[in-house]
Amino acid sequence: MYLLSIGKPRFIFTHKPLDMKKILLLLLAAIITLTSVGQGTVKKGKASTGPYPRGWVLVEKGGKYGFISAEGDEIIKTQYTRISPFDEYLSGWALVEKDGFLGFISNSGDEVVKPQYTKIYPFDEMQRGWAMVEISGLFGFISSEGREVVKPKYSKIYHFGEMYKNLAMVEKDGLVGFINLDGSEVLKPQYQKVHPFGEYKKDWAMVERDGFFGFINGEGKEVVAPKYSKVSPFGEYQKNWALVEKDRYLGFIDMDGREVIKPQYSQILPFGQLQKDWAMVERDGLWGFISADGREVVKPKYEKINLDDVSGIKKTNEVVKDENS
C-alpha cells in the first residue's frame, strides 16, 4: 500500500500483515492529509492560503505531477515536471514546468499560460501587471490575464521611464528602438545609440545611425532624420538654432527640426561680428553673410572681408573687399 502526502509523494511498501488498529490509524491519517491540503477556495484569481487550493492533492506518475480532488477526481493530469506553490508569482496562479519550459496554471485548473518560456521574471518588476519572459535569449512580456503583450523578440528591454516617461527602450539585432505601455512598438529598433532625452532639447533625444545624427521626440517620432555628421547644441551659435554638418558643409536646423540654412558653408563665424543678426560665412574660399532669419544677405564672393574697422563698415552698412588680399 502507499500514502499520498503534500509535496513530493512518498511511497511506503510493506510485506507484513497489519492488524485492524494500525489499519484504522493509517486510514485516519490519510483522511486528515486529504482534508488539510490548502485553505483557499477553488476560484480563478482568488488567493489560496496554503501551497495548493483546498481539497487538491498533489500526485505523481512517471516523474510528472498533477492534482486530484479529495474525492479522487482528476483536476489536472500528471504532465508537469515541476509545480510551484500557488500565489508565489501571482495570486491564484502556480508556476509549472513541462518539457523544460515554464508556464502557469490557475487554481480553477486551467492552463492560463502554456509552458513555452525558459524563464519568467516576477510580475510588476518592469511594468505593473506584466511579467518579463525569456525564450532562446530573447525577451518579451505577458500580462496578469495570461496574454503575451510583447512577443519575445528583443535581446534587451530597459525599464519603462528609464529613458523617457511611458516608454521602454528595446534592443534587437544590435539596434535600439522603443515600446509604449501598451506593448506597441512606437519606434522600430533602427539606431545604434539613443542619447538621453532633454540633452539637446526638451522631449527630444539625439539618435545615431551609421555614424550620422538626428532626433526623435517623446512620442517616438523621428523629427530629424539621422543625416548629419555633427550636431551642436541648440542656441550655441544662434537662439533656437543648432549648427549641423553634412558632407563637410555647415548649416542650421531650428527647434522644429526644419533645415533653415542648408549645409553649404565650410565655415560659419559667430553672429554679431558685423551686424547683430549677421554671421560671416565661407563657401569655396569666398566670404559673405547670412542673417538670423536664414537669408543669404551677402553672397559669398569676397576673398577677404576686413572687420578691423567695424565702425566704418557699420556707417556704410556695406561689406568691403580687402584690396590688399
User: What pLDDT, in 10s, does the model give residues 282-298?
Assistant: 999 999 999 999 999 99
* pTM value > 0.85: no
- Contacts of 29 by beta carbon, 8 Å cutoff, 6+ apart: 3
Task: Tell me how far apart the alpha carbons of residues 148 and 133 are, in angstroms, rounded to a whole number.
Answer: 9
Q: Are 312 and 305 in contact (CB under 8 A)?
A: no
In one-letter notation, the amino acid at residue 296 is E
CA dihedral for 203, 263, 194, 155, sign (positive or negative): positive
User: What pLDDT, in 10s, does the model give residues 253-284?
Assistant: 999 999 999 999 999 999 988 888 999 999 99
CA dihedral for 307, 312, 315, 317, sign (positive or negative): negative
Residue 184 CA to chain centroid, in angstroms?
10
At residue 76, the 3 state secondary structure works out as strand
User: What pLDDT, in 10s, does the model give residues 1-56?
Assistant: 333 333 443 333 333 444 554 444 344 334 433 333 333 333 333 333 458 998 99
Mean confidence (pLDDT) of the chain: 83
